[in-house]
């Protein structure tokens, strides 16, 4: 996972954690634009807790990286930061939330699970995907077909494990104010699942975090508006990195 030459000067590679029912297919254009970037797909398999998914990501990430999490992947990215902050040079939280489980959320997620159990993944995804999309993306038949195929391929066991992890997610209220690396909260203007207001709150809770809103995109913004998304990613990657304190010389007692 060594970083390769690209249009940026910092060396830490870009590591992407995808969201619910998503994989590397969400980020095809981003992977092409940023050579050396990697999507971690395997952390959902056989795991039904955010903490275990973060452990898998840590075990499969480079010594230091620029960490981008999309949707549920952003919640896992935050757990990575909690467990191994020295491994994260910078952080991007995309189309996500940091709130605890809300009233009715369990029932809503289990309703989709039960559709999957009774009618199969095609019916589940047919119910789940359209509300995730922005207005223009809903009319993009090729994009909808590609995302539909991706989500169906994830399979019902993966979906069930993912929603259990989300319903038992750890609180991040105490974590957010301690994050010191360059952080951006990025969201599609038309994201109805994780709206702009949530990202305003995220940016306000993390010291010096910045908010970026991509017009004309919904929750699947990396695939809906890849050029605009990649512009924001490039800007985030260009910011001076957080120092790696492990490489600094130990302070001598008595030094000012």
**What pLDDT score does 7 carry?**
42
Q: At what angle are helices 156-167 and 105-119 packed, to 10 degrees?
A: 170
Q: How confident is the model at residue 247 (pLDDT cuts 50, 70, 90)?
A: low
Q: How confident is the model at residue 244 (pLDDT cuts 50, 70, 90)?
A: low
Instruction: Report the share of the chain in percent with pLDDT over 90.
Output: 84
**How many residues in the chain?**
256
Instruction: Report the share of the chain in percent with pLDDT over 70.
Output: 90
Do residues 80 and 92 lie in contact, with contact meaning Cβ atoms separated by under 8 Å?
Answer: no
Token pair, residue 92, equals 């991007």
Average of per-residue pLDDT values in the chain: 91
Dihedral over alpha carbons 138, 23, 217, 97 (to 10 degrees) = 120
Nearest to 107 by CA among 35, 40, 29, 167: 167
**What pLDDT score does 241 carry?**
83
CA atoms within 13 A on the CB side of 56: 18
**What pLDDT score does 246 carry?**
57
pTM, two decimal places: 0.90
For residue 249, pLDDT over 90 is answered with: no
Measured distance CA(142)–CA(57) in Å, rounded: 31
Dihedral over alpha carbons 126, 128, 132, 133 (to 10 degrees) = 0
Q: Among positive and negative, which fits the CA dihedral 59, 64, 65, 71?
A: positive
Which residue segments constitute the domains of the chain, with CATH numbers given?
A: 14-243 (3.40.50.1820)
């Amino acid at each position: 996972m060594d970083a390769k030459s690209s249009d940026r000067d910092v060396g830490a590679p870009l590591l992407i954690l995808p969201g619910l029912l998503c994989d590397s297919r969400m980020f095809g254009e981003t992977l092409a634009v940023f050579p050396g970037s990697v999507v971690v797909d395997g952390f959902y398999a056989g795991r039904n807790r955010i903490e275990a998914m973060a452990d898998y990501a840590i075990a499969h990430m480079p010594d230091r990286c620029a960490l981008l999490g999309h949707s549920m992947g952003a919640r896992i990215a935050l757990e990575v930061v909690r467990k191994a902050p020295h491994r994260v040079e910078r952080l991007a939280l995309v189309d996500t939330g940091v709130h605890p489980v809300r009233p009715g959320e369990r029932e809503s997620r289990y309703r989709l699970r039960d559709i999957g159990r009774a009618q199969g993944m095609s019916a589940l995804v047919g119910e789940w995907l359209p509300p995730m999309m922005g207005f223009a993306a809903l009319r993009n038949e090729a994009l909808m077909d590609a995302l539909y195929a991706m989500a169906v391929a994830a399979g019902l066991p993966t979906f069930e494990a993912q929603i259990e992890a989300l319903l038992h997610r750890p609180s991040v209220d105490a974590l957010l104010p301690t994050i010191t690396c360059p952080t951006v909260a990025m969201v599609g203007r038309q994201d109805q699942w994780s709206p702009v207001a949530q990202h305003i709150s995220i940016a306000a809770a993390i010291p010096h975090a910045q908010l970026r809103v991509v017009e004309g995109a919904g929750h699947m913004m990396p695939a809906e508006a890849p050029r605009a998304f990649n512009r924001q990613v490039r800007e985030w990657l260009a910011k001076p990195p957080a120092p790696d304190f492990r490489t600094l010389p130990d302070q001598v007692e008595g030094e000012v």
